[in-house]
Structure 1
Amino acid sequence: MLEDVLAPAGRRPANARPVWIVAADSLKSAAIADGAAAAWAEQTGFKAAAGEVLVVPDGKGGIAGVVLGTGDGDDPMVAGALARKLPAGNWYFEVAQEGDLRLASLGFLLGSYRFTRYRKPSGETPRLVLDASLDRKEIAALAEGVWLARDLVNTPANDLGPDGIEAAAKALAAPRKMTVKIIKGPDLLKQNFPLIHAVGRASDQAPRLIDMRWGKRDAPRLTLVGKGVAFDTGGLDIKPPSGMRNMKKDMGGAANVLALAGLIVDMKLDVRLRVLIPAVENSIAGNAFRPGDIFPSRKGLTVEIGNTDAEGRLILADALTLADEEKPDLIIDMATLTGAARVALGPDLPPFYTTDEEFASALAEAAHLEHDPLWRMPLWAPYAKGLSSPVADLCNITSDGMAGSVTAALFLQRFVSEAKAWAHLDIFAWSPVAKPHAPVGGEAQGIRALLVALKERYGAA
């Protein structure tokens, strides 16, 4: 709970102790205002490497404070290291000239995250006393949004199948007065969502489309689409055990979209928000869809199945078509779509694709300022011919396996034609290696940057 790591608002507790933030080249400067702390840092050989923490004694058997090193000072999120290295008690940032106090505070809270659904943590945790100059509501909302995305991704499919994704969406919607509509099972065919139905029909839990709305009807239309594959076996083109182990995270797009939607509502952006989540499980049974099958899509394009493990783009195709029918100002989709994205950019730098130069520039700048990494990749049109099929309008994969993230984005682009702008984020939604602000496990990627770019585009209501 956030209350366990964020001290109540109001006067700073008398027992709160300071954290001095210093970069490696500032150890001997005035950055450490406490002379004894500076001397102790020098005597102990403290180098102020990124995330390095030095406990400073008070000479009476207690603790005077702590020095946090930021290395070259480029990343204030290293303050997340404090959550695992500080003794219990109340702490506040005494000196933050070396970095961004807001992001350092957010980093502390994100580094405090623990997935506690199945195993309760032991012992007390350090608590941050937020500086009075900061927007407490904003920082708390951001932390809670990231924690929500992480919790959803970390929850295994036995407790978060399509039913669980629907329940999570309704839990987010209820206190925010968002409307929720569910199209489920055979009704998907009746209402023309054949690809969502085909991918999810082999599961014990029926496939569905979750449709959420919020905001004034006359505000600019913003639609978020999140891939909600609760678990991906690969289908009949089954994954090997190593490839299937973490497939509970294949609904990471849905998790991130839900977290972002909550932030948009909480920040009261001036938009007519719609959230579409096709929620399925890609299972194996006698009625599973097969390689070589051909299905119609909601858009009317026929799709040949080249591989059943390229299922995410199929369910997104129907959802994007529905989103596009309203001709919104902007559609953003998020999906754990391709391993090729990780080959190209690794797990920590998700690619994004967009047709809107202004939004691309705003998103790239926001990603840099928020230390929420994203990297623009090209929608290289000549590669689209690789998606051709001799028997259908298009195939869901290419035959050469090249440029997999780009061709997946090009596949999705075929289903967006009426929206003013569209952006696609091919996220990993997972931290394979612990970082100061993020433990190993589910991760929110891009939602803080997106929120900043959307605030710039639309403002608050």
Structure 2
Amino acid sequence: MSFALVSGSTDAIPLIAVHPERLAATLDAMDAGGAAFVRAAGFMAEPQTWCLVPAASGGLAAVLVGVVDAADPFALAGLPLVLPAGTYALHASLGDRLDPDVAALGWGLGAYQFDRYRKAKRAPALLDIDAATREAVSSVIAASWRVRDLVNTPTEHMGPAELATGAAELAQAHGGRCRVIEGDALLRDNFPAIHAVGRASHRAPRLIELDWGDDAHPRLALVGKGVCFDTGGLDIKPADGMLRMKKDMGGAAHALALAGLLMATRVPVRLKLLIPAVENAIGPDAYRPGEVISTRQGLSVEIGNTDAEGRVILADALTYAGEWQPELLLDFATLTGAARIALGPDLPALFCNDEALATGLLDAGQSQRDPLWRMPLYAPYMAYLESPIADINNAATTRHAGCVTAALFLSRFVPQGQAWAHLDVYSWNDAPRPGRPAGGEAQGLRAYYAALAARYR
């Protein structure tokens, strides 16, 4: 897949990035006719605006695009689906110089269209870059597209079995191994919490496990919440709350995509990917409010709310990951609406028990323009999860600090001393923006990859 990036074009149309403060100087350096046209068009080089400069032959001589922040990966991301079909290339001398890697990344993200059920509206315009740059960014773009495709696909075509197939294909592509524990075999192999949440669906619950890498390399465990649809269970969601619940496997999508990215770029880790994959359905065998379920760790969990199911399935997966004794344990989950209330849709909530790990992730988020926001693992709030009949309740006794109490619940299933980070991620764009179409979205993916690549290379 080219991601609308090509190399070696001989007739690419020049693309000139211009800061508003340097527009006059850029126009003075252009040919007089083209500059006069740009002035007559009223182009002011504001961000996300562009001006098509005609050639005497009737074609395009150049395109000017307003860029205020040359390090912003989305500075050119609005262009692939609005410029006329053709091939464009960054101008070698006119205008502001853009980092080719950053420009290519944004172009590739902006070229995305979800076309599984209808034909793409148009072919994207192409950006000509050198082959080394294209190679450098293509794996990251592919991982971001993978998250978007997985999240955008409705549950009828993206259930637990399809997630398992995706993991198996990824393992095969990179020389890894994949196994799946399905249905009642979860009880046999001591994953009772995953089974309890998923048993009501006609689609059997699963634990998906992918292994890759050299045993001599540091161990890295990735865990992703794979709730392929969330009705809320018997504590059923209202219709508007259920409308986007195909995206409740966004954590699994992120974990899968990050695993694929690490394997594709051969980051030297011994990788284990775990995805508890279920559908939180309503049926005769649905788990009920007030029940006490067992977990792999041995802790008993009172079900205060069947709509707090993601943390329940993650409990078994985190316990299993911890038994492997990885150097790092990272989980991703569309876990709480409370994180969105606190931080909005664009800032994933990061919880971390290791200062060096947290610093690395946050710094990478800033450098990659893929921001994370750290939230506290405030231990006194664990009291909100107390149960009179079990070791812990899956739902707090208050609405206060909902994303914090959810993370604290997960922390009970992480071994003492294990370096761990939990990302509560929205996985969705509510409205389209340049390079970020409405629908499924990769958030924190580039930050995590950059931090891990820096740590292990």
Coarse TM-score class (shorter-chain normalised):
over 0.9
State whether residues 73 and 99 of structure 1, in contact with CA within 8 Å, keep that contact through their aligned partners in structure 2. Answer: yes
What is the aligned-residue RMSD (CA, Å)? 1.7
Corresponding residue for 1:433? 431
Corresponding residue for 1:64? 61
Corresponding residue for 1:126? 125
Give the C-alpha shift of residue 110 in structure 1: 0.5
AA in 1 matched with 2:115:
T
Equivalents in 2 of 1:446, 1:118: separation in Å? 27
State whether residues 4 and 111 of structure 2, in contact with CA within 8 Å, keep that contact through their aligned partners in structure 1. Answer: yes
* Residue from 156, 159, 165 that aligns with 1:158: 156
Corresponding residue for 2:20? 24
Structure 1, gaps ≥5 residues long: none
Give the C-alpha shift of residue 256 in structure 1: 0.8
Equivalents in 2 of 1:455, 1:129: separation in Å? 27
Rate the CA distance shift 1:163–1:76 in 2: closer, same or farther, 3 A: closer
Give the C-alpha shift of residue 32 in structure 1: 8.5
Corresponding residue for 1:391? 389
Matches within 5 A, 1:48-447: 48-73=45-70, 75-94=72-91, 97=96, 99-131=98-130, 134-418=132-416, 420-447=418-445
The CA deviation string for residues 55-81 of structure 1, in whole angstroms up to 9 with x for no partner, is: 111233211111111245562312110
Equivalents in 1 of 2:31, 2:415: separation in Å? 63
SS for the counterpart of 2:25 is coil
Equivalents in 2 of 1:365, 1:4: separation in Å? 27
Structure 1, 414-423 or 383-392: larger mean CA deviation? 414-423
Equivalents in 2 of 1:30, 1:438: separation in Å? 29
SS for the counterpart of 1:216 is coil
Corresponding residue for 1:44? 41
The CA deviation string for residues 261-312 of structure 1, in whole angstroms up to 9 with x for no partner, is: 0110111111100000000000000100011010111111110001000000
AA in 2 matched with 1:117:
R
Equivalents in 2 of 1:309, 1:78: separation in Å? 39
AA in 1 matched with 2:81:
R
Equivalents in 2 of 1:94, 1:78: separation in Å? 15
Give the C-alpha shift of residue 380 in structure 1: 1.0
SS for the counterpart of 2:335 is coil
Give the C-alpha shift of residue 97 in structure 1: 3.9
SS for the counterpart of 2:203 is coil
Query: How much identity, in percent, do the aligned residues show?
Result: 50
How many matched pairs?
454
Rate the CA distance shift 1:303–1:4 in 2: closer, same or farther, 3 A: closer
Equivalents in 1 of 2:75, 2:362: separation in Å? 21
Corresponding residue for 1:15? 11
Structure 1, 212-221 or 54-63: larger mean CA deviation? 54-63
Corresponding residue for 2:455? 457
State whether residues 249 and 442 of structure 1, in contact with CA within 8 Å, keep that contact through their aligned partners in structure 2. Answer: yes
Give the C-alpha shift of residue 418 in structure 1: 4.5
Equivalents in 2 of 1:263, 1:223: separation in Å? 14
State whether residues 80 and 124 of structure 2, in contact with CA within 8 Å, keep that contact through their aligned partners in structure 1. Answer: yes
The CA deviation string for residues 22-42 of structure 1, in whole angstroms up to 9 with x for no partner, is: 222221234995345554433
Rate the CA distance shift 1:86–1:147 in 2: closer, same or farther, 3 A: same
Equivalents in 1 of 2:407, 2:309: separation in Å? 13
Give the C-alpha shift of residue 138 in structure 1: 2.3
Equivalents in 2 of 1:308, 1:23: separation in Å? 52
Give the C-alpha shift of residue 168 in structure 1: 1.1
Equivalents in 2 of 1:32, 1:201: separation in Å? 70
The CA deviation string for residues 181-201 of structure 1, in whole angstroms up to 9 with x for no partner, is: 111111101111111000000
Give the C-alpha shift of residue 382 in structure 1: 1.2
SS for the counterpart of 2:229 is strand
State whether residues 21 and 31 of structure 1, in contact with CA within 8 Å, keep that contact through their aligned partners in structure 2. Answer: no
Structure 1, 217-226 or 75-84: larger mean CA deviation? 75-84
Instruction: List structure 1 runs of 4+ shifted beyond 4 angstroms.
Output: 30-33, 35-39
Equivalents in 2 of 1:145, 1:24: separation in Å? 34
State whether residues 100 and 133 of structure 2, in contact with CA within 8 Å, keep that contact through their aligned partners in structure 1. Answer: no
SS for the counterpart of 2:157 is coil
AA in 2 matched with 1:34:
M
State whether residues 22 and 31 of structure 1, in contact with CA within 8 Å, keep that contact through their aligned partners in structure 2. Answer: no
Give the C-alpha shift of residue 99 in structure 1: 4.2
Equivalents in 1 of 2:143, 2:272: separation in Å? 18
Structure 1, 40-49 or 15-24: larger mean CA deviation? 40-49
SS for the counterpart of 2:78 is helix
State whether residues 5 and 134 of structure 2, in contact with CA within 8 Å, keep that contact through their aligned partners in structure 1. Answer: no
Equivalents in 1 of 2:212, 2:404: separation in Å? 32
State whether residues 325 and 418 of structure 1, in contact with CA within 8 Å, keep that contact through their aligned partners in structure 2. Answer: no
AA in 1 matched with 2:339:
A
Equivalents in 1 of 2:86, 2:350: separation in Å? 41
Structure 2, gaps ≥5 residues long: none
AA in 2 matched with 1:57:
P
Give the C-alpha shift of residue 98 in structure 1: 5.0
Rate the CA distance shift 1:375–1:455 in 2: closer, same or farther, 3 A: same
Equivalents in 2 of 1:58, 1:143: separation in Å? 33
Rate the CA distance shift 1:388–1:68 in 2: closer, same or farther, 3 A: same
Equivalents in 1 of 2:59, 2:100: separation in Å? 26
Equivalents in 2 of 1:212, 1:330: separation in Å? 16
AA in 2 matched with 1:127:
L
